Structures are given as C-alpha cells and as structure tokens.
Amino acid sequence: MSPIPAINPAMSGLMPNVDMLQPGASPLPSTGIEMPSELGRAQEITAAQPTGDSFASMLGQMVSDVNGKQNISAQAVSALQSGQTVPLHHAVIAMEEANVSFQLMVEVRNRLLESYQEIMRMQI
Amino acid sequence: MIQILSGIQNTSAALDAEQTRLDVIAQNIANVNTTHGVDGKPYQRQVVVFETSLQQAMNGDGSAQMPAIQGTHVEKDSSPPIHIYEPGNPDADANGLVAMPNINMQDEMADLISASRTFEANLAVVKNARSMAMETLAIGKH
C-alpha cells in the first residue's frame, strides 16, 4: 500500500535540482571567462573526495523506509482486526512509528522546498 | 531502517512481558476455585519469571550489538494447596478436606496493580519518546 502515490514522481522531480547543487555534478555552461586557478583547484579537490551515496539515493532510501514502516503498521492493524493474536500495543507502536517517520519525511520535503524557493526569490 | 523512536524495542518487549503477566494473573484469578484440573489435581498457581535475553541488532555503523531485551517464561508455584473442610464436595478426601488452589486473592490483586502500573509506566515511555520526536521535528519552526 502506498499512502501517497504521487510522492515518488514528486521526489524524482526534485532530484535534478538537487544534483545541480552538488559540486562538479553538472558543469556550468562555458562563458568564455577563464576561471581563476585557485578556484579551479578547490573544485578539483572537492570533486576528488569520495562522497559516498548521493543525496538523491539517500532520500530515495528514506522514502522507501517510510513506506516500509507504513506497510508494517498496516499489516499489524489488519492482523489485529482480523482476530490474530497480535498485542494491541504492537499495532499502536507500529502506527506511531509510521506516523513520526512520515512527519520526518514531510519535514525534509518542506525544508528542501523552502530552500529551493528561497534561492528562486534571490535578487540577481 | 531508520530508528525514529529510540529504545522503542526495549519498551515494546517490556510491554509484552507485562501483558503476559497480566494474562497469567487473570488466569490465576479465574481459577481460584478450580479443585479439579485436567490432571485431576487442584489448579496450581502460575508465576511469570522475568528474564533478559540478548537481541541481535545493528549499531549505526552496521556492526552488530547485543541489547538486553526483556523476556518472560511462565512457571508453576509449587507451594502446597490450601485445604478447606467441605465434606459434601465430590473432590473431598476421606477426612472431608478439599484441596483448593494455592492462590491468595489478595496477592493476586496486588500483583495485578503492580503489573498494570508497570504497563502504564512503559506506555508513558512510548508517549514521551513520541512527543520528543515530534518536538525535535519542530526545531526551527516559528
């Protein structure tokens, strides 16, 4: 069960913008101006460091974690309602965990969007 | 999997244990007058023994750790049965004494209060962990 089917496209829609923020991910279009050598070296150093998982895959992992928690809680509730011997507190704790992790995901999305809008409002 | 409510496994196991204890106390109270069990003997009082076991879990860096998780097992109270004089009872012996279960209702009620209070305390831990997580998510909100 996916509680919010639209979130995956929405997240992947955010991804290209996120990738642009990463150093050296997408080179800026050439303006014909020679970059100062110090800056170029600094960029080389940051690009050479291993960054591990990308932010996008981390976010994707988090979304699937939250989805997994939602599934667990739905299973616990349906097991309880169909008369299986699931303790009540297991179902309620699973629901709470799903709820709080969903709130966390929404909060991450809100902050991302907020920072994106902040950048879009910037005077050039 | 992200651990959003820390320490919730321990609390959940403790809730399981207290639930078992409540069930066993309910069984004892229900069988306070059972003089003839399935084996023909009076019902023997059951007691819940609490123990800790180790559960395999992962540290933040992926290495294994062994947190102590509460568990229970149910045992029989081997104290002798209480004899009351009731010659008309079919389970009475030659002297007219009936072996009643070794259950003291006052003890059971005290245990019931203790178990339900411990259950409530663990629920308070869950509630607190949840509200702490929600408060933490609200950091920086105006």
- CB of A14 less than 8 A from some CB of B: no
Pairing of strands B97-100, B82-85: antiparallel
Chain A residues in contact with B12 by the CB 8 A cut-off are 89-90, 93
Q: What is the pLDDT along chain A (124 residues), one digit of tens a residue?
A: 444 444 454 444 444 444 444 444 444 444 444 545 555 555 555 555 556 678 889 889 999 999 999 999 999 999 999 999 889 999 999 999 999 999 999 999 999 999 999 999 998 8
CA-based nearest distance B100→chain A, Å: 32
Whether B7 has a pLDDT exceeding 90, the answer reads no
CA-based nearest distance B134→chain A, Å: 7
What confidence tier does B53 reach under pLDDT thresholds 50, 70, 90? Answer: confident
Put simply, the answer to whether B15 touches A68 (Cβ < 8 Å) is: no
Q: Across residues B111-127, what is the average pLDDT?
A: 94
Whether B101 has a pLDDT exceeding 70, the answer reads yes
What confidence tier does B8 reach under pLDDT thresholds 50, 70, 90? Answer: confident
Q: Which of B91, B89, B86, B87 lies closest to B43 in space, CA to CA? A: B91
Whether B117 has a pLDDT exceeding 50, the answer reads yes
Chain B residues in contact with A63 by the CB 8 A cut-off are none
What confidence tier does B27 reach under pLDDT thresholds 50, 70, 90? Answer: very high
pTM of the model: 0.68
Indicate the residue type of B14.
Answer: A
Task: Give the pLDDT score at B105.
Answer: 93
Task: Give the pLDDT score at B116.
Answer: 94
d(CA B7, CA B15): 13
The residue with greater pLDDT, B67 or A13, is B67
Residues 6+ apart with CB under 8 A from B40: none
d(CA B85, CA B31): 19
Chain B residues in contact with A87 by the CB 8 A cut-off are 15-16, 19
Task: Give the pLDDT score at A55.
Answer: 85
Least confident among A24-28, A31-35, B69-73, B116-120: A24-28
Neighbours of B11 (CB within 10 A): 21
Q: What is the largest CA-CA distance in chain B?
A: 82
Indicate the residue type of A37.
Answer: S
Least confident among A98-112, B1-15, B52-66: B52-66
